[in-house]
Amino acid sequence: MSNTNAATASTPGEQPSALVLGPRKEACHSDPLVHHGRHFGRTVHAMTNFKALITKGLLRMGELADEPEDSFSAEERREHAIFNTLLQSIPGLEDRLMNGSAEEVAIISELLQKGASAARSDDTKGLKGPILDWITPLGQSLDPPLGRNVKVNRGFHHDTTGALLCPAGLDWSDPEIKARLRSGEMAIAGDYWPLFLYRGCIYDPADPWNGLFRSQLLVSAFKHIFTSPSSVDKEPKATRAGNARIHGMTRVTSASIAYVATQVRFALSSASMFSRTDIVMDSERFYNSVFELFEDVDEYHEVNSLITWWNRQIFPSFSSAQTVVSRNSALAKIKEKRAALKAAALANRTAANASSGAALSGAATGSH
């Protein structure tokens, strides 16, 4: 069983943020919650500390239930929205949390954390090699070559990966900029986004939304993670269902785009281990900065347009427009006949009611 102190809730002032990675812990056994945790981390929030999220969520549903919404900070409201999404995505979870012991709640948190951490680790390993294929020009090779399993020469140490990771607004072709990035003299914070996020790596400072999160590299990585590795080449050969189908995913979520962007950024880098304490890659800050942009109500129209674009790339059957039924199709004829039958039935009822009303009126007149 897990450490008993995992079930002990700290005081509100000492609680860590629910939207940062929690400590790595091995759960004692396999459980469907691990399965749910994998999908939750990929599509709802990748940096969730499940213990903190659940502890705070239960507090909001209990002792703080009567507190007005505006008494909570924006961060607390975001956390609670993610907690509610967690409850809605796992059948029976709310009852288990509300009625379970402190130890059971701790175990649930650990299992969900195990799933999210395992998915992140699997995707990190899975992208390490294939991403080199996607960034290599057709019919050419990288110069110098890069190892598929060794990352030390990636990042700013290599011209190809360096150009992709170069922050938007900086000129990778400038020798001084390149030298400062390679030496580490110029530290890049997580919220200073790289050029690979843009279509064709073209950044327009006058219109920073133009092409943002629409790069082919991101699309390839998304397909690799959510549909199947073979779907990247538009010739699916996989015999096993991809993660999207396993979890019944039919729409792209904004969080899944942020997750894939974070994974691609890490795959291009020279960092060997994905860690929340890595101040060089600052992956946690990068992910949260993207996530927060997608959650910003002022950016609703741009984000909505972006999600529609992504759905068309990943799910071929998706359409943002309502499909019009052909006038001469069998389906159209069925609907037409059903409508006619309903109209006839309604007319008959109306006539019957009118006849009944006239009869009653005549009877009332005769009685006088």
Q: How far apart are CA 141 and CA 216, in angstroms?
A: 19
The reported pTM is 0.78
Ordered per-residue pLDDT tens for the chain, 368 residues: 444 443 344 444 556 677 766 655 444 446 899 999 999 999 999 999 999 999 999 999 988 888 888 889 999 999 999 999 999 999 999 999 999 999 999 999 999 999 999 999 999 999 999 999 999 999 999 999 999 999 999 999 999 999 999 999 999 999 999 999 999 899 889 999 999 999 999 999 999 999 999 999 999 999 999 998 888 876 555 445 678 888 889 899 999 999 999 999 999 999 988 876 667 789 999 999 999 999 999 999 999 999 999 999 998 776 555 455 566 777 777 878 888 999 999 988 888 777 766 666 665 555 55
Q: How far apart are CA 45 and CA 255, in angstroms?
A: 6
The dihedral built from the CA positions of residue 168, 17, 85 and 39, taken in this order, carries a sign that is positive
The distance in angstroms from the start CA to the end CA of the chain is 88
Please, is 331 exposed, middle or buried when counting C-beta atoms within 10 Å of its C-beta (0-12, 13-18, 19+)? exposed
What is the residue whose two structure tokens read 């900029």?
A: 177
Tell me what pLDDT residue 30 has. 66
Backbone angles phi, psi at 140, to 5 degrees: -125, -175
325 touches 331 (CB < 8 A): yes
Residues 6+ apart with CB under 8 A from 227: 236, 242, 243, 244, 245, 314
Tell me the per-residue pLDDT of 16-35, one tens digit each, with 9 for 90 and over.
Answer: 677 766 655 444 446 899 99
Q: Please state the domain extents for the chain.
A: 4-119, 129-314, 326-352
Tell me the per-residue pLDDT of 233-288, one tens digit each, with 9 for 90 and over.
Answer: 765 554 456 788 888 898 999 999 999 999 999 999 999 888 766 677 899 999 99
Tell me what pLDDT residue 22 has. 62
Tell me what pLDDT residue 368 has. 53
CA distances to 103, 129, 135, 306 from 116, in Å = 20, 22, 27, 25
Q: How far apart are CA 260 and CA 263, in angstroms?
A: 5
3-state SS track over 120-170: HHHHHHHHHCHHHHHHCCCCCCCCCCCCCCCCCCCHHHCHHHHHHHCECCC
Q: How far apart are CA 348 and CA 13, in angstroms?
A: 69
Q: How far apart are CA 110 and CA 37, in angstroms?
A: 10
Tell me what pLDDT residue 281 has. 82
Q: Which amino acid is at 13?
A: G
Tell me the per-residue pLDDT of 135-164, one tens digit each, with 9 for 90 and over.
Answer: 999 999 999 999 999 999 999 999 999 999
Q: Which amino acid is at 111?
A: L
